[in-house]
């Protein structure tokens, strides 16, 4: 049985996961510079150790209720092809493990399932695995 890992985080009270292999780092909220005429989901850009990264409001991108940022809010920096992108999340819980046997097909969920690659059912909670290639 192969074991996979995902960074588990929260958006609008729901747990989501991103494959840990795609995650470069997780940072606290920093000042985000707005960019005029950017896509509505782009919150702006940040300077991360000399590299300029676009930052996407993931709640807005997924059509969820946006929460005001607080001390638990984070930016998850992921690698997308040859570039890095930051995603704002409400909070990060853990790096969780799961087996392929725990992954269920998201097609029964309805709504924006193209964003989802699967549903992980744990004993006391579940995560929705994001398909980042559909989110970016």
How is residue 89 written in tokens?
A: 């999340």
Distance CA 20, CA 92 (A): 13
pLDDT-derived band at 107, boundaries 50, 70, 90: confident
Q: Are 98 and 8 in contact (CB under 8 A)?
A: no
What is the CATH number assigned to the segment(s) 3-135?
2.40.50.180
For 38-97, the pLDDT digits (tens) are: 888 999 999 999 999 999 999 999 889 999 999 999 999 998 778 899 999 999 999 999
How is residue 4 written in tokens?
A: 């996979």
Distance CA 40, CA 34 (A): 11
Domain range list for the chain: 3-135
The predicted structure's pLDDT at residue 100: 85
Positive/negative CA dihedral, 102, 107, 111, 115: positive
Claim: this prediction has a pTM higher than 0.85: yes
Buried b or exposed e, range 26-60, using 16+ CB within 10 angstroms: beeeeebeeeeeeeebbbbbbebeeeebbbbbbbb
The predicted structure's pLDDT at residue 110: 63
């Amino acid at each position: 049985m192969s074991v996979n890992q995902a960074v588990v985080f929260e958006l609008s009270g729901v747990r989501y996961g991103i494959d840990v292999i795609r995650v470069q780092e997780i940072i606290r909220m920093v000042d985000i510079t707005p960019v005029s005429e950017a896509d509505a989901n782009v919150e702006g850009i940040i300077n991360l150790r000399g590299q300029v990264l676009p930052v996407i409001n993931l709640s807005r991108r997924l059509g969820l209720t946006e929460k005001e940022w607080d001390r638990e809010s984070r930016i998850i920096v992921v690698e997308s092809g040859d570039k890095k992108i930051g995603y704002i999340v409400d909070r990060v819980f853990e790096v969780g493990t799961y087996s392929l046997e725990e992954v269920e097909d998201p097609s029964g969920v309805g709504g924006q399932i193209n964003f989802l690659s699967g549903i992980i059912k744990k004993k006391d909670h579940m995560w929705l695995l994001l398909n980042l290639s559909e989110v970016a």
